[in-house]
Amino acid sequence: MEKLLRFYKGYVRVDVYSGNIERFLNMVIFRNICIWDITKEENYTYFYINIDDIYKLKQIIKKTKVGFKIRERYGLPFFLFANRKRKAFFIGFFIGWVIVYIMSLYIWNIDFQGNFKHTDSELYRFLEEINIKEGIKKEKIDGEKIEKAIRNKFFDITWASVDISGTKLTIHIRENINELDKDNEENDDVNLNEDKPGDLLSSKEAEIVSIITRSGKPMVKPKDIVEKGAVLISGKYELYKDDMTVLNERIVRADGDVVGKVTYTIDEVIERDFVKKVYTGKEFTVNKYILGEYEIASRLRFIKEKDKKYDVYTYNEQIVLGDSFYLPVFNEKMIYREYYLEDDIYSENMVKELANKKLMYKIKKIEENTIQILENNVKIEVDDKICRIYGQVTVLEYIGVFGGTYE
């Protein structure tokens, strides 16, 4: 900081030739003049002093009769003086500052914070409706008005706050999460039809292993084989009199655990020949700077050969000065990677590995709602052209699913 101040004010290096430097220094101390980095060479002493203080030295120099010379000049005043004839430089500098200042009067980036349910683009669209978009003048932004508009439009936003820092407009939002939960719960109710009476159905073709009924009337017994959609536990049951005539019929929501033996058949074929992407290692980068409708590309005449294929990666970012000074300039970087296609064939090991991976994935998916795997006799066979995965997996799982409500 001190150095910056010195640079701003300007300072000089002074050489002093004298036998009696001590007297000179004592007088400098006595007059409270600030000098620093005093170094004694063989026949002279040099030090640094602010240009404001140099006139105060004159009297001391007279009194002590020392030889005195200004050796070097540092700092802004000298720099400006040396460059006084370079008008274009100063004009450019000035125009630069003016442009930066004018730019800083507008908003160039809008950001939302704290939104979970409403997406950024949804809020952004709404802001556009009320004429708040990038490129608007800062002074035209009325924070309270925006906050009110947002709260009126979205009922579940309970709190909104508008904050401008630099050229970035940040809108902080608090959503009513309880309301969100309530919505979800309502949806769940509709889907599940909880408390409504109905049957428990089989979700799969299976052999019944065990059945535990909590409510309702069991319709199957162990070792029965059921189709998909068959009624496992009925929600209707009758109460009989002593003479076996029906007294009345009751309707409940059927509930229970039904475990079935389910067999999954796996039959998959992987072809051994495939098309491979081979990158040639050739790469082109096109840098584009986009300002509104204008754009400047670094490689205007990019030669794209017709019969060659390219992968294109595009990166797009807005240019920021510091943390929050967003400029209306976008940098688009496109990287072209050249490749060609080549026919290839999987080796036996490779194809086996691939098949294993596929099988593991399938079994994992089956396992998700399974109690136990009883039997797994899936085989992997490889011949010249294809690899075949086939076989059956037998598992125990809960097959009951609620459905078939009575109206």
Q: In sequence order, what are the beta bridge partners of 329?
A: 291
CB closer to other proteins, 33 vs 363: 33
Question: Could you tell me the smallest distance in angstroms from the CB atom of residue 311 to other proteins?
Answer: 60
Question: Could you tell me the smallest distance in angstroms from the CB atom of residue 72 to other proteins?
Answer: 17
CB closer to other proteins, 6 vs 272: 6
Question: Could you tell me the smallest distance in angstroms from the CB atom of residue 29 to other proteins?
Answer: 6
Question: Could you tell me the smallest distance in angstroms from the CB atom of residue 334 to other proteins?
Answer: 55
Q: List residues binding other proteins (CB under 8 A).
A: 21-22, 25-26, 29-30, 32, 34-41, 45
Question: What token pair was written down for 165?
Answer: 């820092």
Which residues, 6+ apart, have CB-to-CB distance to 174 below 8 Å?
Answer: 114, 157, 158, 159, 160
Q: What element of type H or E holds 159?
A: strand 157-165
CB closer to other proteins, 35 vs 54: 35
CB closer to other proteins, 34 vs 82: 34
Alpha helices, DSSP H, located in 107-176: 120-129, 143-153
Strand ranges (E), 216-291: 217-218, 225-226, 231-234, 236-240, 246-251, 255-271, 273-291
Region of residue 399 (left: phi > 0; alpha: psi -120 to 50; beta: else): alpha
Does residue 211 contact residue 199 with C-beta atoms inside 8 Å?
no
Calpha distance 403→4 (Å, rounded): 80
Question: Could you tell me the smallest distance in angstroms from the CB atom of residue 33 to other proteins?
Answer: 10
Question: Could you tell me the smallest distance in angstroms from the CB atom of residue 62 to other proteins?
Answer: 20
CB closer to other proteins, 17 vs 313: 17
CB closer to other proteins, 22 vs 183: 22
